[in-house]
């Protein structure tokens, strides 16, 4: 289970890569990208099949991003997540957020064995402030039922 301190530490990072952006602006990777950008984070979209996302340059991998990346949000299917965490380690990134639906046991284990702080099965938009109403409501509900990180 993810701890509150890991969530808080992740949210202090400013240069964040978002893996899982798409041509479809309605996909959740794009929503995360837009929302974090609005909240003042420096976000870098990563998708090797796109040159541009939402009018911004898209990067093929971590090595092509011109800034030092502090953290990565993963919003891809679990088998792809396993490759993303290996690439993150190779790029010197030690903070990974596996968005709900992206988690795999192998990727989590890799992170733990390789000194990567990992947040798993949480929605970043519930925690990145200011959270939109729907995400605040979701956070409140998870608090009521005891599912928030402690």
Task: Read off the pLDDT of residues 2-14 as tens digits, 9 standing for 90 and up.
Answer: 899 999 999 999 8
Structure token digits, residue 82: 């396993």
Helix axes 78-90, 105-113, angle to 10 degrees: 20
In angstroms, rounded to a whole number, what is the distance separating the alpha carbons of residues 13 and 1?
21
Q: What is the pLDDT of residue 1?
A: 65
In the numeric block, which tokens belong to residue 112?
């733990």
pTM for the model: 0.95
Q: Beta-carbon neighbour count of residue 37 at 10 Å?
A: 16
pLDDT in tens, 13-56: 989 999 999 999 999 999 999 999 999 999 999 999 999 999 99
Going from the N-terminus, what domains does the chain have, and what CATH number goes with each? 4-144 (3.40.50.720)
Summarised one tens digit per residue, pLDDT across range 94-129 is 999 999 999 999 999 999 999 999 999 899 999 999
pLDDT of residue 64: 97
Please name the helix (run of DSSP H) or strand (run of DSSP E) that holds residue 119, with its range, or none. strand 117-122
Number of H helices, E strands in the chain: 6, 7
Separation in Å, CA 78 to CA 3, 73, 136: 21, 13, 26
Non-local CB neighbours of 46 within 8 Å, separated by 6+ positions: 17, 18, 19, 20, 21, 58, 59, 60, 61, 62, 65, 72
């Amino acid at each position: 289970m993810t701890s509150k301190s890991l969530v808080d530490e992740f949210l202090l990072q400013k240069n964040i890569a978002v893996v899982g952006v798409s041509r479809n602006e309605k996909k959740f990777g794009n929503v995360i990208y837009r929302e974090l950008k609005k909240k003042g984070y420096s976000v870098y979209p990563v998708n090797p099949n796109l040159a541009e996302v939402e009018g911004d340059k898209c990067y093929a991998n971590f090595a092509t991003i011109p800034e030092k990346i502090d953290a990565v949000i993963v919003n891809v299917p679990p088998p792809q997540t396993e490759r993303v965490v290996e690439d993150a380690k190779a790029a010197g990134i030690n903070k990974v957020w596996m968005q709900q639906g992206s988690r795999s046991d192998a990727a989590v284990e890799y992170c733990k064995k390789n000194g990567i702080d990992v947040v798993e099965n949480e929605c970043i938009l519930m925690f990145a402030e200011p959270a939109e109403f729907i995400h605040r409501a979701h956070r409140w509900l998870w608090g009521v039922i005891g599912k928030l990180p402690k």
